[in-house]
Amino acid sequence: MIEAVIFDWGGTLTPWKTMDFHAGWRAYTDVLHADDAERAAMVAAALAGADMARWSTARDEHRAFTLAEVLADALVDVDVDHHDAALEAYRAFWVQATHTDAEAAPMPAALRGRGLKLGVLSSTAWPGEWHEEWLRRDGALDFLDGFVWSSDLPWTKPHASAFRAAMDVVGVDDPARCVHIGDRPYDDISGAKAVGMRAVLVPHSDIPLAQQVPVDVTPDAVVQRLADLPEAIAGW
C-alpha cells in the first residue's frame, strides 16, 4: 500500500500559466534602473538569457540553480540600494502564476483521511519561502507534511536524489510506497518511475519546446483534474 503522495508544484498543484521570462526580468530592471530605460532593457535581456541558459542546463544535466546564480551570471550587482525593491517587483510579476488549483481544495483532505503523507517536490530557482508563503495564502500549506525545492538542492528532477530528498522529507523509505504527481513526462513521470515510484500525469501544461525532452514512458494513471486523484489511486 502507498504511504505518501508527492506533488510537483508549478503546472500541477498550481495550474500552468504561460508567462514571459523577459517581462518578469524587465519588472526587476525597471525598478533597479528606473532612471535609465536603455540600461534597464539591456540588463533585462541579459537576465532572461541567463535564466533560460540555467534552465537548459537543468534540462540537460539536471543541475539545480537559484535566482542568485542567474543574477550573478548576468553580472548584476545586487549590493545596490534598489535591489530588494526590484526583486519584490519581479516576484509581484510572477504572483499571477502561483495560485493553487481551487478545484483541488477537497483533495488533500481526502488523501490525508486515508492516512497518506503529502509532500511537494518542485524544480524551481525561487526561494522556498516564496512558495510556502503562496501555499499559506491559499490555505494549502497545513495539508502538506514536507517540501523540497530544488533551489535548496544540487540536483533537480529527474535526478534520483531529488526524489529521494522528497521521500526523506515525508518520512518514507520505500519508493514503491510513494506516488509522484506531475505535469512533465520527462522530469516527473520518468524521474519518479526510475526510482521505483508510481507516477500520475496531469497533462494540461503547455511546456515550451525548449524545455521538452522526448521520453518513452507510461504513467501509472492520468488525471484531467486534481480533484479526481483520490479516486484514481484508490486501492494502490
- 3 state SS of 82: coil
Q: Select from 53, 74, 96 the last residue of a domain.
A: 96
CA distance between the termini of the chain: 6
- Whole-number Å distance between alpha carbons of 166 and 185: 18
Cα of 68 vs its chain's centroid, Å: 17
Model pTM?
A: 0.95
Same domain, 92 and 104: no
- Whole-number Å distance between alpha carbons of 116 and 110: 9
Residue 211 has pLDDT above 90, yes or no: no
Which CATH number covers residue 164? 3.40.50.1000
Residue 209 has pLDDT above 90, yes or no: no
Q: Select from 44, 73, 96 the last residue of a domain.
A: 96
Same domain, 191 and 85: no
Q: Select from 47, 63, 96 the last residue of a domain.
A: 96
Residue 104 has pLDDT above 90, yes or no: no
Mean pLDDT of 37-43: 97
Same domain, 110 and 225: yes
Number of domains in the chain: 2
